[in-house]
A and B are shown apart, each in its own frame.
Chain A
């Protein structure tokens, strides 16, 4: 139990910091640089029609490249810690009705994922959302006992986990020939972004699913 005095001190410190932040924010002048205008002006050359996708995959595509690396790295961290343990035990199968529902929903969710990927070019969506839906389908199948948890991933799974990032890297490297990293030629930008996003959808789906399926084995059998 934390002493009362200490708790009051922490609460007061946090509250005064929050207060200072609010006061400082209310005091902010209008920003000097107006980036949304620059995004608007360059949309035609970006290869997609939705500004968020244009920023994520084109204008600031380099940030996204590194962020995908961060996700793969997070999975590596989990693997490095858990990989030494025994293979997972299969989950007990759920009631027939739940399993039926999961079997019906999983293909639909894959369809939704592909739609989200495609829609990303013109409206909110894209590889990250699509990958999250794919991962959710995997989690659903796992919870109903259809898909077992993961042990140490084999070669084929490792390739699939890394494929999206490798495609992104390959495109980035190949475009160096045009003078700069990730400098898409405007005419092919749409195609290349779709290629990158398709790879990312699969790999991100697997990575996010892996974060769940690699750790799920701890439920029960070690308690």
Chain B
């Protein structure tokens, strides 16, 4: 009755639908209450996986390959924990944000609930077709959230995002169809022993199509074109959810498939993925250094930080170092980026402007928020003791172990670039405010949630041992 695996999917579906029935702009309290339960469920699952190892839940009682299995191992437990831990503070933040900004996004709560249900279902799925359905849930909900602001610019960004997401889904689906044609099953567990390096050409094509589709959804360079307008233009709580969580979902899937079913084929693409990651770090950081808008800066920083996740692929090895590095980077960046977008939302509310120039003087008015932004910046730069530091340390260690020195230079260079764009914001914030500037008061709950997320991203480095142990369970 209390199997957290099933409830982590059912519960957000129930509150999303409930919020829809309640009507536009309602459902915040329902969502926050349910998210508290979801946090407890994710924690319970993590503890159980740590103690007893992974487990499966045969939906319908049939078992794969006839039915659909849900599977939880260390990697999925960590990602589920991250998703609930991000969603709860962001829900508190969103409630205050939308109360302040009139109900601009009328159906935020149901859309957010479906998004979270899709993400949880994706982390638990163990079936290629079921994964496609969860990708659709996540993609449609995310597009809806971007569009729901209602301005022409937001709808245009959403449409561009929709085309990218749909193209990605269709490429993935074509791959699934080819796999089903070759093996007659879509269950990961059944497929794993069947796929090897001598697989027929159709399987190689399928792997390539699925990888391309998922890369489009993850917005890795050069597929990043849709991300900055979509993430930079949406309301702050939406940007935070998308940048911190949604792009990680398709990354998780690439990682999961290349560790598991496609492991025999994955080596062929690993170096290319690493090089794209390096290019993303340089290009994203460069654009973040050039933009004049605070949320675009944070969005371009996401393009850069996603690059680190792809450095993992050429370093994947049985020692599990690279997997731990990828997991830590996903968590650290998730927390830091949620904090940064939350802080950016507060700064924009306080100053009434969205440009870097408009930030002059915020240091004296919303110091807690600026501190949160700085702390999140510490994680992105990778300074100790932050989670970002731990992730980069693990990456460097993995690169050195395998004698691949080039990646070390990329990791260190990327940290310096991150420092440069974070200081662009901080420097501006400490300038004196022009005499005619006016500041609007901002709800305390928004400032505190941004701070809590940022503090968590820094303190993560001190409590990383349990998470790393959990990730080590995920190498299975």
> Within 8 Å of chain B (Cβ to Cβ): is A83?
yes
Give every chain B residue within 8 A of A5 (Cβ-Cβ).
none
Q: How far is the CA of A181 from the CA of B58 in the complex (A)?
A: 8
Question: Using an 8 Å CB-CB cutoff, how does the interface string of B88-116 with A read, 1 for contact, 0 for none?
Answer: 00000000000000000111001100100
Contact B200 A35 (CB under 8 A): no
> Given that A33-B183, A33-B184, A158-B20 are contacting pairs, would A69 and B1 also be in contact in the complex, using a CB cutoff of 8 Å?
no
Contact A29 B107 (CB under 8 A): no
B14 at the interface (CB under 8 A from A): yes
Inter-chain contact A67/B201, CB cutoff 8 Å = no
Across the interface, which residues of B come within 8 angstroms of A60, CB to CB?
60, 67-68, 129
On whether the beta carbons of A159 and B148 are closer than 8 Å, the reply is: no
Complex partner residue of A61 from B60, B117, B137, CB under 8 angstroms:
B60
**What per-residue 1/0 map shows which CB atoms of B67-78 lie under 8 Å from chain A?**
110100000000
Q: Known contacts being A66-B134, A172-B10, is A179 close to B61, with CB within 8 Å?
A: yes
A72 at the interface (CB under 8 A from B): yes
Name the B residues within 8 Å of A58 (CB-CB): 60
Q: Which of B38-46, B138-146, B346-354 participates in binding chain A?
A: B138-146
B185 CB contacts on chain A under 8 angstroms: 31-33, 35
Instruction: Contact check, A70 vs B144: say whether CB atoms are below 8 A apart.
Output: no
Q: Mark A31-45, 1 if CB is under 8 A from B, else 0.
A: 111110011001000
Chain B, range 31-73, C-beta contacts under 8 Å to A? 57-62, 65-68, 70
Q: Render A64-82 as a binary contact track against B, CB cut-off 8 A, 1 for contact.
A: 0011011011101101110
Known: A177-B1, A181-B6. A33 touches B59 (CB 8 A): no
Contact flags B153-178 to A (C-beta < 8 A → 1, else 0)? 00100000000000000000000001
Q: In the docked arrangement, what's the CA distance between A60 and B136, Å?
A: 17
- Shortest beta-carbon distance from B59 to chain A in Å: 4
Q: Are A73 and B137 in contact (CB under 8 A)?
A: yes
Beta-carbon contact of A24 and B57 below 8 Å = no
B190 / chain A contacts, CB cutoff of 8 Å:
33
A166 to chain B: closest CB distance in Å?
6
* CB-nearest residue of chain B to A74: B140
Once the chains bind, are A178 and B61 in contact (CB under 8 Å)?
yes
> Size class of A's contact patch?
35 or more
A161 and chain B: residue at smallest CB distance = B20
Residue B24, interface by CB 8 Å: yes
Does B181 interact with chain A (Cβ within 8 Å)? yes
**Measured CA separation A13–B306 after assembly (Å):** 29
Residue in chain A with minimal CB distance to B107: A80
Collect the chain A residues with CB atoms within 8 Å of residue B23's CB.
155, 158
Please tell me if B259 contacts chain A, counting CB pairs below 8 Å.
no
- Note all chain A residues with C-beta closer than 8 A to B111: 73, 76-77, 80
Q: In whole angstroms, how far apart are the Cα atoms of A27 and B206 in the complex?
A: 14
CB of B59 within 8 A of CB of A31, answer no
Counted as pairs of residues, one from A and one from B, with CB atoms less than 8 Å apart, the total is 172
Residue of A nearest to B143 (CB): A77
Whether a CB of chain B sits under 8 angstroms from the CB of A63 is: yes
Query: Is B121 interfacial (CB 8 A cutoff)?
Result: yes
Tell me the nearest residue of chain B to A61, going by C-beta.
B60
Question: Which residues of the partner chain B approach A70 to less than 8 Å between Cβ atoms?
Answer: 133, 136-137, 140
Contact of A59 with B148 in the complex, beta carbons under 8 Å: no
Give the nearest-CB partner of B115 in chain A.
A73
Complex CA gap A172/B9 in Å reads 11
Interface: B268 (CB within 8 A): no
Contact, CB under 8 Å: B60 / A28? no
Give chain A residues whose Cβ lies under 8 Å from the Cβ of B14.
Answer: 166, 169, 173
Q: Which of B133, B136, B143, B202 is in CB contact (< 8 Å) with A27? A: B202
Q: Are B10 and A77 in contact (CB under 8 A)?
A: no
Q: Looking at the assembled complex, report how far the CB atom of A184 sits from the nearest CB atom of chain B, in whole angstroms.
A: 7
- Assess A42 versus B181: contact at CB under 8 Å? Given A63-B68, A70-B140, A172-B10: no
The reply on A204 being an interface residue by CB < 8 A is no
Is B400 an interface residue, CB under 8 A from the partner?
A: no
Chain A residue at minimum C-beta to C-beta distance from B187: A33
Does B147 sit within 8 A of A, measured CB to CB? yes
CB pair B200–A59 under 8 Å, yes or no, is: no
B345 CB → nearest A CB, Å? 19
Q: Complex Cα distance A84/B148, Å?
A: 10
Let me know if A39 and B10 touch, CB within 8 A.
Answer: no
**A141 CB–B CB distance under 8 Å:** no
Smallest beta-carbon distance A199→chain B, Å: 13
Cβ-defined contact, A28 with B181, below 8 A = yes
A12 interface residue, CB < 8 Å from B? no
A84, B106: Cβ atoms closer than 8 Å:
yes
User: Which residues of A are found within 8 Å of B66, using beta-carbon distances?
Assistant: 35, 38-39, 42, 59
The answer to whether A63 and B61 touch (CB under 8 A), given A24-B201, A70-B137, A162-B17, is: no
Q: What 4 A-B pairs come out closest when comparing CB atoms? A: A31-B184, A183-B61, A77-B144, A80-B148
Residues of B within 8 A of A (CB): 1, 3, 6-7, 9-10, 13-14, 17, 20-21, 23-24, 57-62, 65-68, 70, 105-107, 110-111, 114, 117-118, 121, 129-130, 133-134, 136-137, 140-141, 143-144, 147-148, 150, 155, 178, 180-185, 190, 194, 200-202, 205
Can you give 17 contacting A-B residue pairs, CB < 8 Å?
Answer: A29-B200, A32-B184, A62-B59, A62-B60, A66-B134, A67-B133, A73-B114, A73-B140, A73-B144, A76-B114, A77-B111, A77-B140, A162-B17, A169-B13, A173-B6, A180-B59, A181-B70
A interface with B by C-beta (< 8 Å): 20-21, 23-25, 27-29, 31-35, 38-39, 42, 58-63, 66-67, 69-70, 72-74, 76-77, 79-81, 83-84, 152, 155, 158-159, 161-162, 165-166, 169, 172-173, 176-184
Given contacts A42-B66, A169-B17, 20 further A-B contacts (CB under 8 A): A24-B200, A29-B182, A31-B182, A31-B183, A35-B66, A38-B65, A38-B66, A59-B60, A60-B67, A63-B68, A63-B129, A63-B130, A81-B150, A83-B107, A155-B23, A158-B21, A159-B21, A180-B58, A180-B59, A181-B10
